[in-house]
Chains A and B, each alone.
Chain A
C-alpha cells in the first residue's frame, strides 16, 4: 500500500506476510526460484472502507483460475457483506502483500485462509464497535449484509459505514480467530458469476499485451535459432535504415530493433543480418528417448518400501513396460508481453507473470537498485498453466527502456512464445510390476527420466498410491535439448500416464476389471471415494480385457486433491473422438463450485490435447512446429461433454482444483483406446500411432 492509503479512513486489518513461508528447503518454489523471503513482516490484507465496501489485497495473480472471485466469495461470507461489495486487488507489488508466486494451487488454501481470517477479524472488530454504539452485549448482535443488528430487536441496527465513519482504525489480524463454520456459509459453496466477468466480455480487461503507455516504442528482438546458439556476427546497417526505426540496440546478448510501430519493428528485425555460431551436436526429435535415458543422473528415490527382490519372488506374474511423453507447449492464448518505463532510477514494469515479486527481485538485482525502486504490475494474464513464472520479456523491456530512455514494449509473437517459453519436459518412464493372480500388486519398480535440470518437475506424482508392500521409485535428471519448465501439475501428468496405463495392463494380464483391480489395491478412503463416484456416475460396465466399448478410467492425486476420471470414446481411422468424460474431484471444502468445475473441465480438455495430438518436434535443435497452424490443440468441436462431480467434504481443508484434473486424463484415454481397439498406447500423442 502507499503512504497515502495508510492515512485513509477505514478499518484496516494488517497481518503477517510470511504465511508459513519460507517453505521447507526441498519444496518446489525454493528449488525453482529462490525468492522465498518477504520484504516486510506485516502488510495490510483488508480494508473496510468508510462506505462499508471491502477491499482485500493479495500478491496472487489472476491467470484464468478465477482466484479473484474465489477470494471475494470467502471474504463476503466471513464479513457478511454482499459479494458485489468486495474488491480484490492482485499482483501489483506497490499495492499488495509480498507473495512468492501463484503456483502449486496454493491460492485458495493459503491466501484464501489468510483473507478469511482478516475478514473475520474485521467482523469481530465491527461487532465490538456495534456493541458499544448500541449499548448491547456483542453476543446479542449479528452481522448481516454490511450491518449489525440486535438478534432480538431488528430495529436496533447500525451499518458498517456508520460504525467506521471517518475514523482510521488499524487492527492486527487475529490468527486464532474462529472462522465461520461451513454450515453457516451463505456465499461460499454456491454458484456465483465471476466478479471480473463483465470486464472480460466487454474487452475492458487489460492484459500485458494490451498495455500502451505514452512515448512507448515497440521492440522486436533478435532470437536465437536454437538453444545455446552464439551470435558470431551481426550487421545492422540495413535494419537501421528501415521505415519507422528509432534505434537498433546491441547490448551484450540482447539485440533488438526499436520502432514506432509493431510492424516496423518486426520488418526491420527481419533484415538484421546475423550469423550464428555452431555449438556441439544439436538434437532432433528422434534422438530424444536415447538422450533422456543415457543422460540420466542424480538418482533420487521418491518412494521405497520392502524389498523388490522379495516382492517379485512372491508374484505370480510380472509386467515390464516403458512409456514416453514428448515435449508439449503450454501455449497460453496470450503470448508473453511486457512494457517497461523508467523514471530516473525508478522502474515500472507491466508483466503478466505469476511472480511479480520474484521478477521485482530479479530486476532490482540486475540494475543494482533497491526492490522498492521497482514496481511490477501483473495485469490480467491470458493463461499460462504454470509457465509464466520466469518472464524474460520483462527483463528485455527493462534493459531496452533503460538504453532507449523511453518506455519499451516487448511482446512475443505466437511462434516466439512456443519456442522461447518453456515446455513440459519430455519423459521416459519404465515400470516393472509384480502381482498375484487374485489382483494384488506386490512389487512396483519405477524409473523416470524427465528432461531438464529441474528435478522437482519429474518427482511430482512419481510415487504410487497403491498398497504395494515392495516398492521403489527412482527419478533421474536428464539432459534436455529444449527449454523445460512448469506445466499444469509439472511431471505428475506424465508420471500418472505411465502408472495408470500400467495398472490397466496389469488388469488385462490378470483378466480383471480395471476398476476392481484398483479398488483391490487402494485403501485410502479419499481415493476409493473418487474412483467409486466416477465409475458409478459414468455408468462403468465392468469387463475383462479389451471389450470394444471405448471405456477407460484412471485415478490420480495432485496438490493434495484426489481425482478419478472415466472416458467414453470411439476410434475411427486416424482419429479418436472423445464423447464423454466423467471426473470426480475431492479437493476438500469447495469455495466456488463453478470455478472448481471450470478448472476440471479445462484440465480435461488440455490433457486431451497432450494425449491425442500435441508434441513439439525439432530438428538440429530448431523447433519445427511453432504456431497454431502446425501445433494442434483441442478445439470446440473436439471437446467432449464433461461431467464433474465434487465429492470432497466441507470439513476437509481446501486443496487445489486447477491441476489435479489433468493427471489421470491421458491414461484414461489411452486405456479407453485399448478397450476399443485392443492396441496398447504407451507413447503419446496417441493419434500419431494409430494404425
Chain B
C-alpha cells in the first residue's frame, strides 16, 4: 500500500508498480492529465511533483510515494485561475485543447523555477511538449505574458 498526495488530498494505491498516469486518471479520477504517447515525449501527461514537472506516463505510483503532486485540476485556488491558465485563455492558446493541461503544467513549473524567463528559455521549456494543432505561437505568447512581472495582476 502506497500513499500519495494529489492536489492536497491523500490517495491510497494498492499496487506500488501502478503506472502513475493511469492511477491519476482512472483510480483518482482526475482525467485532466492526458495520455498522448506513453513514451514520455509529448508532455500531455505532465504533472508537478513538489512544483517540478514530471512525465507521469513514465513512472509509477511507488516512485513518487511521499511526494506531493499537483495536476491541472489543482492549479486554480478557490476557483481563481492560475495566471498561466488565464494567459492561455487570453491568447486563445488552444485548438482541440488536449495537450493544453500538459503545456500549462510545464509552464507553471518553469515559472516556479525561473522568475522572468527570456523567450529562448521559454521556447526550450515548451519544446518538451507537443501540440499537433500547431498553436505554438500562441502558447509561447501566453507563457511570455504570464511571465511578465505584472502577469499575475494583468486582466
Contact = CB atoms under 8 A, between A and B. Distances in A.
Interface of A: 62-66, 193-194, 196-207, 209-210, 212, 261-263, 331-335, 380-385, 411, 413-414, 594-595, 598-599, 601-606, 627-629, 633-637, 639, 641-642
B35 A209 contact: yes
Contacts of B85: 201-202
A209 B38 CA distance: 13
B35 A200 contact: no
Contacts of B138: 598, 601
A606 B136 CA distance: 11
A65 B94 CA distance: 10
5 contacts: A65-B95, A198-B81, A203-B101, A209-B35, A629-B41
Interface string B116-154: 000000011011011111111111100000000000000
Contact of B126 (A193, A210, A636, A641): A636
Given A413-B38, A636-B139, A261 B96 contact: no
A383 B71 contact: no
B34 A209 contact: yes
B134 A602 contact: yes
A205 B31 CA distance: 9
Contacts of A262: 19, 22, 26
A636 B120 CA distance: 11
Interface in B66-122: 71-73, 75-76, 81, 85, 88-90, 92, 94-101, 104
Interface of B: 18-19, 22, 25-26, 29-39, 41-42, 44, 71-73, 75-76, 81, 85, 88-90, 92, 94-101, 104, 123-124, 126-127, 129-140
B61 to A, nearest CB: 11
A603 B94 contact: no
A382 B34 contact: yes
A384 B31 CA distance: 20
B96 A334 contact: yes
B73 A202 contact: yes
Contacts of B31: 203, 206, 209-210, 212
Given A633-B132, A639-B136, A66 B95 contact: yes
Contact of A263 (B22, B32, B96): B22
A601 B32 contact: no
A206 B95 CA distance: 14
Residue among A197, A381, A604 with the highest chain B CB neighbour number at 10 A:
A197
The 10 closest A-B CB pairs, nearest first, are: A203-B32, A605-B134, A382-B98, A64-B96, A200-B97, A210-B31, A203-B72, A64-B95, A602-B134, A639-B136
Given A201-B104, A635-B129, A636-B129, 7 more contacts: A203-B73, A209-B35, A335-B35, A414-B38, A602-B95, A636-B136, A637-B126
Contacts of B75: 202
B135 A601 contact: yes
A90 to B, nearest CB: 13
Contact of A201 (B96, B100, B123): B100
Given A64-B96, A202-B72, A203-B101, A636 B38 contact: no
A627 B36 CA distance: 10
A414 B95 contact: no
A333 B38 contact: no
A602 B136 CA distance: 8
A383 B132 contact: yes
A542 to B, nearest CB: 28
A485 B76 CA distance: 41
Contact of B88 (A63, A201, A261, A606): A201
Contacts of A200: 88, 94, 97, 100
A602 B92 contact: no
A193 B97 contact: no
Contacts of A385: 132
B130 A333 contact: yes
A567 B99 CA distance: 27
A471 to B, nearest CB: 34
B126 to A, nearest CB: 4
Contacts, number: 176
B98 A598 contact: no
A608 B155 CA distance: 34
Contacts of A602: 95, 133-135
A193 B92 contact: yes
Given A382-B34, A634-B134, A333 B96 contact: yes
Given A627-B39, A636-B139, A639-B134, A203 B95 contact: no
A416 to B, nearest CB: 10
B140 to A, nearest CB: 6
Contact of A383 (B39, B96, B104): B96
Contact of B96 (A204, A380, A595, A604): A380
Contacts of A263: 18-19, 22
A207 B35 CA distance: 11
A637 B72 CA distance: 24
A606 B89 CA distance: 22
Contacts of A335: 35-36
A500 B98 CA distance: 34
Given A203-B33, A261-B22, A383-B95, A628 B134 contact: no
A148 to B, nearest CB: 32
Contacts of B95: 64-66, 383, 598-599, 602
A605 B132 CA distance: 8
B37 A194 contact: no
Contacts of B124: 637
A646 to B, nearest CB: 15
Contacts of A334: 34, 36, 96, 98
B149 to A, nearest CB: 22
Contacts of A413: 38
Nearest to A260: B26
A201 B26 contact: no
Nearest to B76: A202
Contacts of B18: 261, 263
Given A383-B133, A636-B139, A414 B97 contact: no
Contacts of B39: 414, 627-629
A595 B133 CA distance: 12
A635 B127 contact: yes
Contacts of A603: 134
Contacts of A639: 134, 136-137, 140
B104 A382 contact: no
Residue among A198, A206, A636 with the highest chain B CB neighbour number at 10 A:
A636
Contacts of B134: 601-606, 634, 639
B142 to A, nearest CB: 10
B42 A207 contact: no
Given A200-B100, A203-B31, A602-B133, A627 B25 contact: no
A219 B138 CA distance: 37
Contacts of A198: 81, 89
Nearest to A334: B98
A193 B89 contact: yes
Contacts of A205: 97
Nearest to B18: A263
